[in-house]
Each structure stands twice: as structure tokens, then as C-alpha cells.
A and B are shown apart, each in its own frame.
Chain A
């Protein structure tokens, strides 16, 4: 009854509904699997299937190891879309996902009232607060995908030594720009939202602006580095935005 095609080693194309196809590259969180997701995402974005308003593809949902394609089946039959996906993945130049990656630096004021959970993370990891900041801001993170809420990045690359469990009781309101750790992940809240991540600091950068031409500062596939700034710089940047 269900239509599922095993296409190549580790790639499955599944009908998720009558109007969406799920391309699954694997069942784990890894940079390699996500690279294939981002590659197909970019290829579809560039294709004639999603370029204009009347195009058959309505939405693309990249995730850790899969890409959900929401389309209008009356404009493009599912079988035809499956064929196009196969063509794209066969022709795909696997290095282009990497060359298309953008490097984004995000200024963060760590600790104090902007990062109320820094002492907790320091205590849990056994590092000094300064050491937590140094480790958190020294690595490059990959935006695997954006989901959950507008602009919310799922990022890979947090040093295992910084992993800290989420709060037992999530905060009902986390200010926009908050940067935190939740388990073995790090990320930031682009809009004010509820959430249970341990907050290390806050960026003065406007991460999501629905009115802007490019609403989200971050895109799937971006490379991110956090840059520690002082409270004075934070305030100055907030005043200037």
C-alpha cells in the first residue's frame, strides 16, 4: 500500500502524504548525512520546481538526515517528482554543498543577566565560567537545519565537554537572541519563545525579522562562530540596530 523506493545505498524516497515526499538519507545525526540533505535542498531551490510562486514545490523542510518536500500533486504527479529527485541526486556535485556554505560570526555577550545559566553550566562541566566561554566560542558550528520555530537553528559541533542537561522546568519566556545549551546541542532563540535550554549569553544581532527581505540571519548549511563581546558593545549594538 505504501510507496517506498530504495534508491541507492542509504537513500529512501517515501510518500509522507498525498502532497509530500520524504527523502531519507539515514537515521542518525551526522555532518556527512546532513551534507547530502543540504545538497538536495540547494539543488531543489535552484531548480525550476521551486523558483516562482506558481511552481509545484510549496515548501522544503530540511532536517538532520532527511528532506521533506511539500508540493502540489495536481501540478506535478508524485512519480514525476521522484524521478526529478533521482536525477538531481545522481548529477549532484557533492562538493557544491560545501562551497555554498556561508560563514557567519555572531557576537555574544556571555554571562551576567544576559546569560543567567553560565554558572550552572560551569558547575556541571567542571570548568570555570571563563573556560566555558572560551570553549563555546572557539569552535565552528554547522547549522544542520532550521525548525521548531521561525529562525531556530539546530546546530552541530558543540564540544562534548560542554553538554549540560536542559532545565527541569522550561522558562515560559526566553528573550530573543538568547544563546544556550540543551543536552549535547547549542543554539539560539531568534524570537522570544518558551524553552528549557541553559542560557549562556545573548546576541545583540537581530536573528529573525519577519519584515526583512531575508527574514532569517541563518540559513540551513551555514557555518557559525560565536564571538564574545562586552556588555558595553552589546548595549551599543542593540542601540544601533
Chain B
């Protein structure tokens, strides 16, 4: 084995870009919460974009390399040490056999990614190695990593290390104003409800996880006797349970649900949802689907031009 977990940190899982095509069987995609950070990590290493990496949450992992490797750290700022030296972020670096990479507190966001050149050798389940903890499959035995776990690095030929330009990094700054489009039941909340939602702020509750970001703020009012027949849920949907406090449904969410959805975070801002920490305050701003798609196009164009 090539890599050993000495300390798993708070919650470290193996994630790729998710398991698609099985929602009709009740299987939610899972995958990296901050998909852009994972894609950049893989592009920096010359991996395919979908290669799996370690997703570390709030507190990083300590990892021992038994063989030489090229690694990269992306996502939220994480204080990592390689021996006595501080490990860089957003830049690939080599590690020697026996090296220990010690990742500490994650700041300025919630999740950081540790990727290796070649990716990890893991058995794909339904076409993906993403960990879906609630269903106990994917990743390593379908669970969060623990001390003593060992991982093998694939010997896939890399297309070579790349560098991200300094200017491009500006785009990765966190956002606390999330853009939304109306959800399927937006009209249930009236224009007053949608204004209330956009007035904010909403604070991120401590019981948030990969299934959903729970918010605390002005309660939204549901019309009396409103009942929804269970329907499919999209990624980033903002559902409103009877207490009126919205929940942003995220990568490990259920595939269907019965609460009304007032809005949906736009695809280009889902990476900012991934980086919300407990007690962070967020605002919401309604945009049109056309504006949302323009922002998504911008993100893809940024990715094409981000590398030197």
C-alpha cells in the first residue's frame, strides 16, 4: 500500500465527481461537495477530472506516504506541514517515501481536497468510487476514513503537472451571497416570502452535513393546509419544513422528498455551499435561469483558461 492514514481528522471521505444515472433507484450522486476544487486538483496533477481524492472537513488528516508521490491540496485554506515545511496549496508538490503530511485546521471554508497523481485505486460501485456514508457503499468500505486505513495509488500515466495562474486564484474566493432561482413551489411563499428569504442573513446551523445545510433566520410561512405529493429533489434545492427554516439539500441528500422547495442555489454557486461552516452567515439573491446559466458558462471558461 502506498498511503496510510495516521489521523483521519474530523471527517475525511473518498470522493470523485459523483455517481450519476441511478437516482431512479434511490441512489443520490454523492461526490465532492466542492466539485470545482476537485476538478482543479486533478487538472493540476494531470489526472482525469473525475479521479478520486480525499475530502477533508473542518480538520485535516495526517497521512504517511510509503512511496514517492506527487500530491496537491485544493479547496478551503488548510494548514498542512510536510516535515518542517509548510505545504503549498493549489500547487502540486512531490513527497518522498516515508514523508508525513500533517493537515491541521481548515480555515476560510469547510472542505479541502488532497489528491495524488494517478488517483487512488478503488473498486467503483455503480461507476463511481464516491463514498455514500448513509448507504454504506463507495469509497473505502462505504465509510469515513479512520486511522490505520491504507490506500493504493493508481499507476495511471499522468499528462503532467500543470500550474494555475495567480490571477485565476481570485475567482476561487469564497462568496457569502448565494444566487438562487425559484424552486418548483416558489409561488406558495408569495412575493413577501421570497423577499424575506432575500433579506437575510441566514446562519448555518451546526447540524449541517453533506445531506443538507440547515439555516437559521427569518422563518418562511407556508400556506395553511399545503401538502405536497412526494417529488424528485434537485441538487441545491432549498426545502422548507413546517418550522419555516430553509435547508439547502446537498450532495448526499435523498432523491425524493415531500417538503416544498422555495428556491434552488444556482449550479455555479454550489461550490460556495460546500464551503459554508457552522455559524457562517449567508444572503440569497434571486436571479433568472438565464443569468444562472451565464454564470455556469463563465465558470467553465475560467477553468479552461486558469492554467499557465
| Residues in chain A within 8 A of chain B (CB atoms) | 1-3, 14-20, 22, 24, 27-29, 41, 50, 53, 58-68, 70, 73-74, 77-78, 145-152, 154, 191, 208, 210-211, 215-216, 219-220
Stretch at the interface among B57-65, B144-152, B288-296: B288-296
Further pairs besides A16-B183, A78-B293, A148-B256: 5, Cβ < 8 Å: A15-B182, A16-B184, A16-B261, A64-B229, A73-B296
A18 lies within 8 A of B255 (CB): no
Question: Given the known A-B contacts A16-B237, A16-B264, A22-B184, are A191 and B232 also in contact in the complex, defined by CB atoms under 8 Å?
Answer: no
Please, how many angstroms separate the alpha-carbon atoms of A3 and B288 in the complex? 9
A145 lies within 8 A of B229 (CB): no
Q: Which residues of B contact A154 (CB under 8 A)?
A: 230, 256
A66 lies within 8 A of B231 (CB): yes
Please, how many angstroms separate the alpha-carbon atoms of A66 and B26 in the complex? 15
Stretch at the interface among B17-25, B83-91, B108-116, B168-176: B17-25
* Chain B window 15-41, contacts with chain A (Cβ cutoff 8 Å), 1 for yes, 0 for no: 000001111111101000000000000
B125 lies within 8 A of A68 (CB): no
Question: Given the known A-B contacts A17-B235, A17-B267, A63-B256, are A148 and B26 also in contact in the complex, defined by CB atoms under 8 Å?
Answer: yes
B238 to A, closest residue via Cβ = A17
Q: Which of B26, B264, B286, B300 contacts A147 (CB 8 A)?
A: B26
Number of A-B contacts (CB under 8 A): 154
Instruction: Count contacts on B: residues with CB < 8 A to the other chain.
Output: 49
A15 lies within 8 A of B126 (CB): no
B289 lies within 8 A of A151 (CB): no
Please, how many angstroms separate the alpha-carbon atoms of A154 and B21 in the complex? 19
B125 lies within 8 A of A41 (CB): no
A63 lies within 8 A of B230 (CB): yes
Q: Which residues of B contact A28 (CB under 8 A)?
A: 229
Question: Given the known A-B contacts A17-B264, A210-B135, are A74 and B297 also in contact in the complex, defined by CB atoms under 8 Å?
Answer: yes
A45 to B, closest residue via Cβ = B24
A33 to B, closest residue via Cβ = B229
A213 to B, closest residue via Cβ = B126
Please, how many angstroms separate the alpha-carbon atoms of A93 and B175 in the complex? 48
A1 lies within 8 A of B134 (CB): no
* Chain B window 31-53, contacts with chain A (Cβ cutoff 8 Å), 1 for yes, 0 for no: 00000000000000000000000
Is B212 interfacial (CB 8 A cutoff)? no
A215 lies within 8 A of B234 (CB): no
Is B307 interfacial (CB 8 A cutoff)? no
A210 lies within 8 A of B231 (CB): no
Please, how many angstroms separate the alpha-carbon atoms of A140 and B255 in the complex? 25
Is B254 interfacial (CB 8 A cutoff)? yes
Question: Given the known A-B contacts A18-B293, A151-B25, are A61 and B255 also in contact in the complex, defined by CB atoms under 8 Å?
Answer: yes
Please, how many angstroms separate the alpha-carbon atoms of A220 and B25 in the complex? 8
B234 lies within 8 A of A60 (CB): no
Is B95 interfacial (CB 8 A cutoff)? no
B256 lies within 8 A of A61 (CB): yes
B186 to A, closest residue via Cβ = A2
Please, how many angstroms separate the alpha-carbon atoms of A36 and B27 in the complex? 22
Q: Which of A14, A65, A149 contacts B26 (CB 8 A)?
A: A149
Can you pick out 17 interface pairs between chain A and chain B where the beta carbons lie within 8 Å of each other?
A: A2-B187, A16-B183, A16-B232, A17-B266, A19-B235, A22-B232, A50-B21, A61-B232, A63-B231, A64-B229, A68-B234, A73-B296, A145-B24, A147-B230, A191-B135, A210-B125, A215-B126
Report the minimal beta-carbon distance from B276 to chain A, rounded to whole angstroms.
18
Is B233 interfacial (CB 8 A cutoff)? yes
A150 lies within 8 A of B135 (CB): yes
Is B236 interfacial (CB 8 A cutoff)? yes
A55 to B, closest residue via Cβ = B21
B264 lies within 8 A of A66 (CB): no
B25 lies within 8 A of A58 (CB): no
Question: Given the known A-B contacts A1-B286, A28-B229, are A60 and B23 also in contact in the complex, defined by CB atoms under 8 Å?
Answer: yes
A215 lies within 8 A of B255 (CB): no
Is B137 interfacial (CB 8 A cutoff)? yes
